[in-house]
A and B are shown apart, each in its own frame.
Chain A
Amino acid sequence: MKIELIEKIEGEAFLDVECKKGRIKNAYVRFPHYRGIEEILRGRSPLDALVINPRVCGICGHAHLHATALALEKLVGFGPNEKVRKIREITRFCEMVQNHVKWFYLVIFTTLDLPYDFRSIQAIIQKINRLSAIFGGQWPHSSYVLPGGITCDPSVLDIVQAKRLSNQSRELLEKLLGDFELKNLSGDLRRLFDALDAKGLLYAGKSLDRFITFGNDSYVESFKILSGKKRPAKLHYIEEFSQPKSRAKGVVYKGKFYETGPLARTMQRGERFVKQLHRRYKDSVTTRIFARIYEAHLLLKKIQEHLQTLDIGMSSYEPIEIGDGEAIVAVEAARGSLVHRVCVKEGKIVDYSIITPTQWNLANGRDGEPSLIQTALQNARCEESDIIFRSFDICSVCTTH
């Protein structure tokens, strides 16, 4: 048994791998930490969760903020207007885009020893976060979304600046990546493909080929894909289970493991580029990596669309009274579906639980059924474990909230 420390991810994780004759026979993922967010929330006023929950994670805290506001709104059956919905999506999509870009270059390109243009990458990250800050005040750790709406009241000037930043980010990214045409790749997409090919990784990391998304927004709907069939997914079929030696719980849907994240979302949307890849390479590292960076491109287009059609004359906020009750919601974060469940009694939070995307993708198997990551690693060459593991993108801090 070999224990690998996977570092320079969002936090750290351990991967215990058993290698025989150069092939992985068994793998087990452990997260060593726990920070107690759910305990911190207990006894606090519901609105405090809008400040505490973004601190679950420095890279996807905005998705946690969004989920918190949705959960509190669901308690009273409130639904925000179109302007609020669009602005919330713009800032959440910004967070996803910068996440994808960081991971694609700083994690994947680094792992594959590929050079990249750091100055341009950082300029994209900076611009996209700046766009988000026009509405959210800052990134990371904004608390501008609250039940009833958003705190900002954007002006025409704000929208003009936001449009310029989205155009610049998209241009910069397209220039680096080249076109999303599988037969005619160029730029960094070509370099990535060739590197995977040269290292014999094109088909590595194939897993269960099951996908799930729970978010409902203008980009995705709540669906699962099992044996190629698409069916609506319902939150109440989710089940969490404890894992020995790890501080993170695993998650299954109706007893089965599913992959969540950009590959699941783009498959669900039936994106041609991703389906072409999937036809040839199934749910391998290749499809997973390309799907994620393709999603950055899709989301940037979505941000531009929203900015074009935004009616800033609508109100930003309607006062609502948070009542007692229980609510469960999901939003899409960079790495996949994020589930928040809140229970409020006598005006205080009595229970809060969070299920993060990494809990789906990096759970360990149970009852003899191997999980996604275990299936992906099964029989892989031992030296491939790192790139396969990272292709799912671990958010250890989220998972050990």
Chain B
Amino acid sequence: MAYPDDRKYTKEHEWVMANGTSASIGITQYAQDSLGDIVFVDLPKVGSDIAAGKTFGSVESVKAVSDLFAPASGTVTAVNEELATAPEKVNQDAHGSWMLKITLSKPGELNGLLSAADYEKFVAEEAAK
């Protein structure tokens, strides 16, 4: 399983891809695979603030509800509206399906997140459990 190294990852299976102080956020291939058929994505409104490590929404498959944890703090500038009607896009392309775009309030937070290689190692350990 290849995780793109153009972004950072969390142990809660979110990714964050920064470009200056703006960043997009989504969930990983491992997360979508664990959830199964995704049927619902609940996201905050544009203009709301999210805080690193805190819940910002949820994603639901037929059988499970999973909280989404913010990989970094910031203000929401865009929400991927397509996921409201086509949540299965996350199953089809987790790394291409951004959920939120935010303006990072503490860009330095990204330094504490996992690289693609470290995340890949982490999920390999999770899968072996």
Q: Do A and B truly interact?
A: no
Using CB atoms and an 8 Å cutoff, list the residues of chain B in contact with chain A. Answer: none
Using CB atoms and an 8 Å cutoff, list the residues of chain A in contact with chain B. Answer: none
